[in-house]
Copies of this chain bind each other. A is one copy, B any other.
Amino acid sequence: MEKRSNIIDCTIRDGGLVNNWDFSVEFVQDLYNGLSEAGVEYMEIGYKNSPKLLKATEPNPWRFLDDNFLKEIIPEKKFTKLSALVDIGRVDPNDILPREQSVLDMIRVACYIREVDKGLELVQMFHDLGYETSLNIMALSSVPEQQLIEAFELVKASPVNVVYIVDSFGSLDPSDIEHQVKKFKEMLPNKQLGIHTHNNMQLAFANTLRAMQNGVSFLDSSVYGMGRAAGNCHTELLVSYIKKPSYEIKPVLRVIEEHMLEMRQQWEWGYIIPYMISGALNEHPRVAMAYRDSDDRDKFVDFYDKVTSPESLPARASK
């Protein structure tokens, strides 16, 4: 079972949510080379959303991936395949080349449960252009069962390769993950499954392991956990843990040593109390992120009072 595992390193894509994709070309190249040497199967090198549709006023190469730019910076593909993420309503079909003309191998579609039909339209398009595809259903912890069943009827009939279980709020524990995986497997017997976790409660790695042990074969992670708010499952932990002759941890350690320690000084992610609280409450981390940007950033009791006050309750997602 473990032999089938694929790690998708999301350092650039999800980590960019931390630092507005302030990554140098050299860093991205170094990461790509390191992941290739480490035997990591995929690297998600950014978003392939449209700057026009997002009314972007500044260039942001990892948020708005451009095929010509990608070919320049990665003139020669190595072991690791490249993937990009798109959001519903933010991607311009005219931006997408056929796979044989692109350095991208996989395009992943993030969507909420109510947009699954739109997500699958995009999947169909990317599939027809030759890409591997995935559908990443976000905020899963708040989706009612019946909605999931209806959405899965559509998913089953689509050509999507991988369907992701996304613990957007970092609110799930390993038992929850196992429950979800079993449900997904039962309802989508013809699809490969993926897992994307967040580390709010220090469970990202344990949740990923539990998913893998239950047959999930696409495992998202980031080097040193870099990702929005509490961050993701750590790539170095997966590479170290999974028994696969092709994985080498040293190239990942090198990336951490040469880049990530310094980046962690400059940017903040990981296990931080307000994110732990938002995870435990099954809430989007945006309130906690705003709090961390304020002068009150370390007033944890005050933060807890705010997010659990009766006034804030109606806004909370029920678990």
Residues on A lying within 8 angstroms of B by beta carbon are 173-175, 199, 201-207, 209-210, 213, 234, 236-237, 240-241, 249-250, 253-254, 256-257, 261, 271, 273, 276-277, 280, 298-301, 304-305
Task: Kindly state the separation between the CA atoms of A199 and B291 in the bound complex, as whole angstroms.
Answer: 27
Q: How many copies does the complex hold?
A: 2
Q: How far is the CA of A253 from the CA of B202 in the complex (A)?
A: 16
Judging by beta carbons under 8 Å apart, are A304 and B253 in contact? Answer: yes
Q: How far is the CB of A250 from chain B (nearest CB, A)?
A: 6
Least Cβ distance of A66 to chain B in Å?
33
Cα distance A261–B272 when bound, in Å?
10
A199 vs B134: C-alpha distance in the bound complex, in angstroms?
Answer: 33
Can you add 8 more A-B contacts, CB < 8 Å, to A249-B304, A257-B273? A174-B174, A174-B209, A202-B204, A202-B206, A202-B237, A240-B280, A241-B280, A253-B304
Docked-complex contact B301 and A253, CB < 8 angstroms = yes
Contact B174 A276 (CB under 8 A): no
Judge whether A298 and B201 touch: CB under 8 Å.
no
Which of A202, A257, A261 has the most CB atoms of chain B within a 10 A radius of its CB?
A: A202
A219 → B minimal CB distance (Å): 15
**CB contact under 8 A between A304 and B250, given known A240-B280, A256-B273, A280-B241:** yes
Give the residue name and chain of the B residue nearest to A253 (CB).
Answer: B300
Closest-by-CB residue of B relative to A173 is B209
State A256–B303 Cα separation when bound (angstroms).
Answer: 13
Contacts of A204 in B (CB 8 A): 202
Assess A175 versus B253: contact at CB under 8 Å? Given A202-B237, A276-B237. no
Query: What residues of B have a CB within 8 angstroms of the CB of A174 in the complex?
Result: 174, 206, 209-210
